[in-house]
Chain A
Amino acid sequence: MPETLVAALRELERAYDEAIADDAFHAELDHLLKTFVGRATPLFEAKRLSGLAAERAGKDGAARIWLKREDLAHTGAHKINNTIGQALLTRRMGKRRVIAETGAGQHGVATATACAHLGLDCTVYMGAEDVRRQHLNVVRMKMMGAKVCPVDSGSRTLKDATNEAMRDWMSSVDTTHYILGSVVGPHPFPRIVRDLQACIGREAKEQFAEAMAGEGSKKLLPDCVIACVGGGSNAAGLFYPFIDDASVRIVGVEAGGRGPGLGSHAAPLSHGSPGVLHGSLSYVLQDEDGQTASVHSCSAGLDYPGVGPEHSYWKDVGRVEYIAVDDDQALDSMLLLSRMEGVLPALETAHAVAAAVRIAGEMGADRHIVINCSGRGDKDVDEAARLLRERGEPGFE
């Protein structure tokens, strides 16, 4: 991390520590999460999906599958949990301008929304390729008064948008806060974003126990929790409150893209090795000289060569399993969840759904899986339809 940013990172850490020790901060955050974001989001049982998992496994029953409905949060994804918290921090630090990077555009929209609500000036950097494939979200950001800057360098996706946001921040640290959108980047971002997303796991835990109590069961914990991993924020938010519950199997699902060759996927935990990117040491996709490799995923939100350092830690200590699901399986699962449950998930989320259906089939009918349904799929419909048409999917010709 360049020295120029160290002072700002220290200031952020101080402001955050003060904020979390301040009841007024929590009161305001909780109030906004409830009345503006719409928390708590529901925990919903996907019964037909579980039935299908059993059928595919050739069994009478598969694990019961629950969706933690972050897609129902305001703006349609978990990203808003983080941006509301960091926008409040921005105000505490006396800064008036916010910058952000975005891939799928969900973080950009969530940042633009939080800024509009709190009266902050907002600039969002977005790779030119993502501007194309997530156009709906570009329009949403503009509607909310944000300035969207397309980034034409490098792979023209999330990594390059992050570079550009950092460059802006280097020249504007005095007046500007950088609302990073995932559990990546330099300390204290991974910690702050994880903490702000941990409401997902806390609610899911409580709601699950409640649902069980409603059935007369004393079961407190699900047997498995699953989330997709781009930078890793929705996953960290779900996983973190379960980390010390040894009976809970935890699975993170990366973007397997077109296959395991370098450049064909975005799965650093599955296929990468430790390296430094954007101010943290973590699993990363690099060539042998430390140059960041190109990555591919059908899902813009997972199309990033790095991952949060805490996920690397959880991988190394064996607490979390990380697997990869490829583009085709993700597309299949997007259709599957839409048709079986009436829930159209984001392409990112669809990766987690694919893994969950398979794992549910391997487990008994008395078991329970919670999927983080991290976002809704509206932003993806054009791109998904294009990909489905390309592969000759019936009805999409």
Chain B
Amino acid sequence: MNRIESIFSSGRESGRKLLMPFVCGGSPSLDDMRETLPALAEAGASIIEVGIPFSDPIADGPVIAEAMHHALESGVTPRSVMDVVASVRSSLSAGVVAMTSVSIVERMGRDRFVGMLADSGFDGVIFPDAPLEEAGPLAHAAAGRGLTTSLLVAPTTPVERAKQICDECTGFVYVLARAGITGESGGGPTRAIRERIEALRSVTHLPLAVGFGIGSPEHVRTVVSPEAGDADAAIVGTALVRRMNDAGPGNAANAAAAFCSELASGLV
């Protein structure tokens, strides 16, 4: 079984919810990232999302967009991010999924790109800007190398379409807590997420991971607690990336671990 699938299935068996932090590849530096991945796993992360920096991240707010631009300016490439993952993979129990724009995948070549991911020890890939209609070949290529494929379901997505999106996914489905871009503004998740999760449960058996706007243990609880959202996992991006950048090179891993432990207290 793929590592993502087994992490979710053992979580479900034991009634445990998962924390999925997002880090921006190569931010604040590749060395910081190398230290951060094991530190996050230690601090309670089950699966780590690694964003491949992209020049035009239209779904990202200023914090992640800045981190990506900064990484690119300092020479970070998809290859160098993958190399960091490869260098820590053997000592890492957590799953690792890449989050990448299709602009990068299509230019580097689908098969080549997913092959590089698999060879570097990634377990899955999220395509945040691949429309359902274009996702088939991407999912096929990923599956060919044993990687899971996750697409996004938005609040604006009608349920019938959400079902089709879920049918293209393996591993887990990425559920947006709100419309808009990544970031901490716009308030955290509300109890309304529960309705959405219930509706999606009726169209898929895949685990549901909720992200966008989640940045505190309270938010995590709202998303995953059986009394609240009851999703399978909570994804935390901007709040973590901001803390890592504020801590700066050399201190980012410690800051990330401390924040991750705090967030994990919101799990049940």
A residues contacting B by CB (< 8 A) are 1-8, 153-154, 159, 163, 166-167, 170-171, 173-174, 274-279, 281, 286, 288-292
Q: A6 and B131 in contact (CB under 8 A), knowing A167-B181, A171-B181, A289-B77?
A: yes
By a CB distance below 8 angstroms, the chain A residues around B155 are 4
Chain B CB count within 10 A is highest, among A1, A2, A166, A278, for A2
Q: Is the CB of B54 within 8 A of A4?
A: no
Nearest A residue to B104 via CB reads: A290
Q: A2 and B152 in contact (CB under 8 A), knowing A286-B107, A288-B107, A289-B77?
A: yes
Q: Is the CB of A173 within 8 A of B103?
A: no
Q: Is the CB of A159 within 8 A of B156?
A: no
Nearest B residue to A11 via CB reads: B156
Answer yes or no: B233 CB below 8 A from chain A CBs.
Answer: no
By a CB distance below 8 angstroms, the chain B residues around A174 are 179
Nearest B residue to A292 via CB reads: B55
With A and B bound together, what is the CA distance between A6 and B160 in angstroms? 14
Q: Is the CB of B152 within 8 A of A276?
A: no
30 inter-chain pairs at a CB distance below 8 angstroms, sorted by A residue, are: A2-B59, A2-B129, A3-B154, A3-B157, A3-B165, A4-B154, A4-B179, A6-B131, A6-B132, A6-B157, A7-B157, A8-B156, A153-B66, A153-B69, A159-B56, A171-B179, A171-B181, A173-B156, A275-B106, A275-B107, A276-B103, A278-B56, A281-B106, A286-B107, A289-B77, A289-B78, A289-B107, A290-B103, A290-B104, A290-B106
Partner of B69, one of A8, A154, A290: A154
Nearest B residue to A167 via CB reads: B181
Q: Is the CB of A6 within 8 A of B156?
A: yes
By a CB distance below 8 angstroms, the chain A residues around B153 are 3
Contacts between chains A and B (CB distance < 8 A), count:
106
Identify 12 new A-B residue pairs, CB closer than 8 A, beyond the known A166-B58, A289-B108. Answer: A1-B129, A1-B131, A2-B129, A4-B152, A4-B179, A4-B180, A167-B181, A171-B180, A276-B107, A277-B103, A279-B129, A289-B77
With A and B bound together, what is the CA distance between A57 and B78 in angstroms? 51
**Chain B: minimal CB distance from A303 (Å):** 15
By a CB distance below 8 angstroms, the chain B residues around A275 are 103, 106-107
With A and B bound together, what is the CA distance between A286 and B105 in angstroms? 12
Chain B CB count within 10 A is highest, among A153, A277, A278, A289, for A289
By a CB distance below 8 angstroms, the chain A residues around B58 are 2, 163, 166-167, 170, 278
Q: Is the CB of B106 within 8 A of A7?
A: no
By a CB distance below 8 angstroms, the chain B residues around A173 are 156, 179
By a CB distance below 8 angstroms, the chain A residues around B176 are 3-4
By a CB distance below 8 angstroms, the chain B residues around A290 are 54, 101, 103-108
Partner of B131, one of A3, A153, A159, A286: A3
With A and B bound together, what is the CA distance between A96 and B176 in angstroms? 26
Q: Mark B95-116, 1 if CB is under 8 A from A, else 0.
A: 0000001111111100000000
